[in-house]
Structure 1
Amino acid sequence: MRSPLPRRLRTAAALLAALGLTALMGPAARAETPPPIPDFADGFGLTQVDAATEVRSSTDFTITVTTPQVAGPHRIRIFLPSGYAAQPDKRWPVTYFLHGGGGNVDDAAAAPALRSDKMITVVPDGGLKGWYANWLMQNTAVGKANWQTFHLEQVVPFIDANLRTVPNRTQRAVAGLSMGGSGALHYAQARPDLFGHAASLSGGIDFGMAEVRAAVLATELNLTGAWCAVSNSSSTSGSGTCTGYGPYVDSDAIFGSPYPVFGADRIWNAYDPAAPANLSKLADTKITLYTGDQGVIDANTARAAATVKARLDRIGIPSRLVNYTNGTSLSPSCDGGHNYGCWAPAFADYVPRLEAAFAASATN
């Protein structure tokens, strides 16, 4: 449901409804008033597009913002705990969910475990092919593309300022799948002061692999294929149709040249979540990796996850790797492939563990 009322009117209408004074509102306002949601103030470079707010319930809504850092309006979907409004003095841990390539913020609805009563879940738009990075080229057909700055320097403090969060790394997690899996690990490395927990599901987390670099190039060139078709929630099995990665951009647009010749691929290497120098930044971060090993995609994400796990082991950083292979050990819905039939039960396994870690760190 898209809210037809500006922010202040929406809040006033909700207050009148809560006081049982709906008779003071006109018939049209009474009919159109959405459930009450928190009122958000602009800030940190973000400006809300009031007419674009979507309210499904008081605990499931989407706001839309603009920012000079990324061209166009961008949606942020938020799941609140059911007790959020009833416990006005309580603060909550936060998990940021990063969607996959060709996906959007509504993909999070395909993983019911993300609707937790013990934490807030925030799902920022990551673009069809943003790769959770500040792009090398800012003048392509997609325009300004500083996704990392948008998320880490704007969205995170914006959420902390407007919702009752616990603004502490031990109470903040970042988790993603496919393209978002690499983003989750990268963000935890780029800002270990922000995130105490990181999870990658079937993530393209080893940029040293030619197959992962090829996947990035496919998104830049809008070569729709297996990665695009199954990294969105058009169907839990991944058989739905993907609309693509958006307009064609130069193959060097995000990370520059992918070819390891005379250091030409230095940006790829600097970003690479599997690079030992980057992994060493996760010494105080709780790391979880999930992957299957079936199909052309997860056969490669399994290799990437194994590489990351082995490198973490070598430098003495604890981590948890769950390779559910063909999916039989995880869920009847999982075939071990790159799809929500596996990711939804993976989140069902991960979220209770994350909730327990949040609870444990809150008492220390």
Structure 2
Amino acid sequence: MSVRFRTAYKRGACLIAALTAASTLSSPAAKADETPPHLADGFGLTVTSQPRWVDENHRTFLFSVSTNQVPTPTLLEGQEPGRHAIVVTLPDDYADTTKSYPVQYYLHGHPDRPDAAWNQRVVEKATAGKDLITVQPNGSGRGWYSNWVNPGAAGPQNWETFHLDQVIPFVDANLRTNATKAGRAIVGHSMGGFGALHYAEHRPDLFGYAGSFSGGLDLRNSELRAAITATLVSPASGTPTVNVDAVFGPPVWPFDGVWNAQSPAHHVGSLRSVGVALYTGNGGDLTVNPIQAVFEHRARETALVTAANLRAENIPFHFSDYGDGSGWAPGCTGKHADEACVQADMNHFVGLFTRHA
């Protein structure tokens, strides 16, 4: 082999090695060495498990905390006593930049959990390619995003304080967030839709946008009261069960003052500085999956009351009232926990928020 050939061969081998290394660094497999952000205790929260990735693209991580505001949440199967799972989905380029990002808080429904696979799918699809952090905190199967008035043996159940006074500043301290009203949104599905508007009405200084996907918004509605009290006494909503008056007090007149005072549909005046978006179907074909059809049909009634009160207050809002879902998204049937419908809701809401954040 000539000297010239050996030299060319060595150069070629070096080039191939360099290209191979570059390819390895840019491939998804190279992300195996990346670690999610390390989180520090603070704001009343103790980190009980540090973040671990739950997706192959290393955008979504799961961690858990304990809090004295809800030290003993009621538990669904697989949940750990005293620990609250929180799921965070980062922008695609979070690890490669020093930018700060707006944040949306996504509140799950009943009887759901933040680490449910379908919630992760919806968030990751809606936020792919977006400069947006999404945080999904635990709301328990029956937390109802409220500070309970009569928790009894369950101990303190101050879900509102936990989320607004602890989780939000904790996230801002540990991640690169745009920690301003304009850079923060809150949204939720079903029970979480109630929670999103409930929180935004109580703390409009925190949120630039609020959205409800099929939320139960009218606590003066007797059907919704019956549905909520059913979640409190049903083991399917978590164990141990609690009394029907645990969250909002007795659900009957004249002892129902807390129900009336906490009804998002009737206290929209404080949302004047918040962008509001409502999404609901009508249940579609009532003979197909009738339970989910009825749930959505009745949730829509509470959205209509909310919309009427927003108009009466001259507060602008967006309302996607998409009926049987056929014109809203492929596969959407207008039912209550239809993933295709919720995906379309989230896609639209993320677009609204990120255009203004």
Tell me if both proteins adopt one fold, taking TM over 0.5 as the criterion: yes
Cα deviation 1:165-218 (Å, max 9, x = unaligned)? 011111100000100000000000111110110000000011111111111101
1:272 maps to a residue whose letter is S
SS at match of 1:175: strand
Structure 2 length as normaliser, TM-score?
Answer: 0.81
The CA distance in 2 between the partners of 1:114 and 1:184, in whole Å, is 19
Counterpart pick for 2:94 among 77, 84, 92: 84
SS at match of 2:115: helix
Does the 8 Å contact 2:151/2:242 carry over to 1?
no
Q: Where in structure 2 are the equivalents of 1:209-288 lying within 5 Å?
A: 209-222=221-234, 224=236, 244-261=237-254, 264-275=255-266, 278-288=267-277
Kindly indicate whether residue 109 of structure 2 is the aligned counterpart of residue 100 of structure 1.
yes
Does the 8 Å contact 1:288/1:320 carry over to 2?
yes
2:25 paired residue number: none
The CA distance in 2 between the partners of 1:215 and 1:198, in whole Å, is 23
The percent identity for this pair of structures is 40
Does the 8 Å contact 2:91/2:127 carry over to 1?
no
Cα deviation 1:18-54 (Å, max 9, x = unaligned)? xx9xxxxxxxxxxxx863111211000000013x643
1:110 maps to a residue whose letter is R
**What's the CA shift for 1:61?**
0.4
Does the 8 Å contact 1:98/1:175 carry over to 2?
yes
The CA distance in 2 between the partners of 1:296 and 1:128, in whole Å, is 20
Whose radius of gyration is greater, 1 or 2?
A: 2
* Pair 1:222–1:116, CA change in 2 (3 A): farther
**What's the CA shift for 1:223?**
6.6
Stretches of structure 1 lacking an aligned partner (at least 5 in a row): 1-19, 21-32, 225-243, 359-364
The CA distance in 2 between the partners of 1:347 and 1:333, in whole Å, is 15
* Pair 1:335–1:123, CA change in 2 (3 A): same
1:63 maps to a residue whose letter is F
**What's the CA shift for 1:147?**
0.4
2:65 paired residue number: 65
2:238 maps to a residue whose letter is Y
Runs of 4+ in 1 over 6 A off after TM superposition: none
SS at match of 1:170: coil
Counterpart pick for 1:320 among 306, 318, 321: 318
Counterpart pick for 1:197 among 206, 209, 226: 209
Stretches of structure 2 lacking an aligned partner (at least 5 in a row): 1-20, 22-31, 72-81, 284-292
**What's the CA shift for 1:130?**
0.2
**What's the CA shift for 1:349?**
2.1
Aligned length: 301
The CA distance in 1 between the partners of 2:185 and 2:262, in whole Å, is 20
The CA distance in 1 between the partners of 2:226 and 2:178, in whole Å, is 39
The CA distance in 2 between the partners of 1:128 and 1:35, in whole Å, is 33
Counterpart pick for 2:121 among 110, 115, 130: 110
Cα deviation 1:117-157 (Å, max 9, x = unaligned)? 310000000011000000112333x4321100000000000
SS at match of 2:264: coil
SS at match of 1:105: coil
Q: Where in structure 2 are the equivalents of 1:1-364 lying within 5 Å?
A: 35-50=34-49, 53-57=51-55, 58-71=58-71, 72-88=82-98, 90-107=99-116, 108-111=119-122, 112-115=125-128, 117-140=130-153, 142-222=154-234, 224=236, 244-261=237-254, 264-275=255-266, 278-294=267-283, 295-339=293-337, 340-358=339-357
SS at match of 1:37: coil
SS at match of 2:330: coil
1:98 maps to a residue whose letter is L
The CA distance in 2 between the partners of 1:75 and 1:143, in whole Å, is 19
The CA distance in 1 between the partners of 2:127 and 2:244, in whole Å, is 34
Tell me which moved more, 336-345 or 91-100: 336-345
1:29 paired residue number: none
SS at match of 1:290: strand
Does the 8 Å contact 1:80/1:116 carry over to 2?
no
Structure 1 length as normaliser, TM-score?
Answer: 0.79
2:107 maps to a residue whose letter is L
2:347 maps to a residue whose letter is A
